């Protein structure tokens, strides 16, 4: 046995003795198989109901229930003490109103990679889970976001489904929602204001069928992913007032110069902007704080230094570190010599 494996084994025996409960349930998931060997004989916790046969409830971490990858086609019964529920990688087809009646303490509900359809999720199933923070429903067969989701959610993942539309009522009042994954669906319409999502920092709506961007974006937004849609134009002041915004990815859309109002991307604070695989003929103006700019595979014909530095002198220079321009109609000769001063921070420029 290698020394490394010995240490891992030793840790997996000692750690549960030192900690009253593991700090991260996912870390626990990783170690649990070995722990069961040593703790399997301890008395099971039956507070709030017994663990169903088809699942595991580790005696030393009795608020977690593991039912992932068991070939389940229906929801198991859930003891009320359970906070962390793992049901991913099954073939569960429905969430009837009764499914979560006893699960009043749920904090995490992981149901990704199942066979859930929107018709088979009852209206009141989430009525009693008012402390639910993390809901994973990605890789199912949903055609809409389930109705009446708990307003306590912080992390909602419904990516890789067949959702066509997002309506304001579905997300309204989710004041604590921080992460929203909607990518790889069939959303055509998102002209709903997302401004009410006061805490949202990550919005991923890439891989949909959007022709327009959402009407108003949440003020705390930090990462905004929109790539692989069919967007050809952006409204004036689209990214204005988003003081926390650092990452914007809009690759693989239909953006043209005409569709981008002046100064759209001249937003202080932006770190990364990906506009590759669009139809731009000019380099749009960007803020001098930008560090990574991806413009490859457009139709850019001229290198406008003014896009990076309105004034070029020793104190005015761009923070740009990466600039990708390959797959355009430019050559090295098109880069003016003053660029050396303006782009002095760059370590990678690809033409």
Among 36, 39, 70, 102, interactor with ligand NAG by CB under 6 A: 102
Q: According to the binding rule CB under 6 A, does residue 236 interact with ligand NAG?
A: no
Binding range to ligand NAG, per CB under 6 A, among 57-65, 97-105, 179-187, 247-255: 97-105
Residue of 12, 89, 117, 196 interacting with ligand NAG (CB under 6 A): 117
232 interacts with ligand NAG by CB under 6 A: no
Return left, alpha or beta for 113; rule: phi > 0 is left, psi -120 to 50 is alpha, else beta: left
> Looking at beta carbons only, is 103 or 297 nearer to ligand NAG?
103
- Using the contact rule CB under 6 A, the part of the chain among 58-66, 237-245, 312-320, 332-340 near ligand NAG is 312-320
Residue 302 contacts ligand NAG per CB under 6 A: no
Nearer residue to ligand NAG within complex by CB, 33 or 344: 344
Per-residue interface string for the shown chain with ligand NAG, residues 133-162, x marking contact by CB under 6 A:
--------x---------xx----------
- 104 touches ligand NAG (CB under 6 A): no
Positions in the binding site for ligand NAG (CB under 6 A): 49, 77-78, 93, 98, 101-102, 115, 117, 141, 151-152, 175-176, 263, 266, 285, 306, 310-311, 313, 315-316
């Amino acid at each position: 046995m290698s020394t490394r494996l010995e240490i891992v084994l030793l840790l997996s025996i000692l750690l549960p003795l030192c900690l009253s409960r593991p700090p991260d349930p996912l870390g626990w998931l990783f170690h649990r198989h070995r722990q069961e060997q040593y703790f399997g004989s301890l008395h099971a916790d039956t507070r709030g109901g017994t663990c169903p046969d088809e699942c595991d409830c580790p005696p030393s971490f009795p608020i977690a229930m593991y039912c992932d990858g068991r070939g389940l086609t229906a929801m198991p019964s859930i003891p009320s003490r359970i906070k962390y529920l793992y049901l991913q990688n099954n073939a569960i087809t429905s969430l009837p109103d009764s499914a979560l009646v006893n699960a009043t303490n749920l904090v995490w509900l992981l149901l990704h990679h199942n066979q859930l359809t929107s018709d088979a999720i009852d209206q009141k199933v989430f009525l009693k889970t008012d402390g639910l923070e993390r809901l994973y429903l990605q890789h199912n067969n949903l055609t809409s976001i389930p109705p009446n989701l708990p307003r306590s959610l912080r992390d909602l993942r419904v990516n890789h489904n067949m959702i066509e539309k997002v309506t304001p009522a579905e997300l309204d009042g989710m004041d604590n929602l921080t992460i929203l994954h909607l990518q790889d669906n069939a959303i055509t319409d998102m002209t709903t204001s997302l401004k009410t999502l006061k805490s949202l920092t990550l919005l991923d709506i890439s891989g949909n069928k959007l022709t327009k961007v959402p009407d108003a974006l949440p003020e705390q937004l930090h990462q905004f992913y929109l790539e692989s849609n069919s967007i050809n134009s952006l409204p004036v002041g689209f990214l204005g007032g988003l003081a926390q915004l650092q990452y914007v990815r809009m690759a693989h859309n239909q953006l043209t110069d005409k569709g981008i109002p002046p100064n759209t991307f001249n937003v202080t604070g932006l770190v990364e902007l990906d506009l590759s695989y669009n139809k731009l003929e000019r380099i749009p103006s960007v803020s001098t704080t930008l560090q990574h700019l991806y413009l490859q595979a457009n139709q850019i014909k001229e290198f406008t230094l003014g896009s990076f530095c309105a004034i070029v002198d020793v104190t005015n220079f761009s923070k740009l570190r990466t600039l990708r321009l390959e797959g355009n109609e430019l050559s090295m000769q098109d880069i003016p010599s003053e660029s050396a001063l303006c782009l002095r921070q760059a370590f990678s420029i690809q033409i």
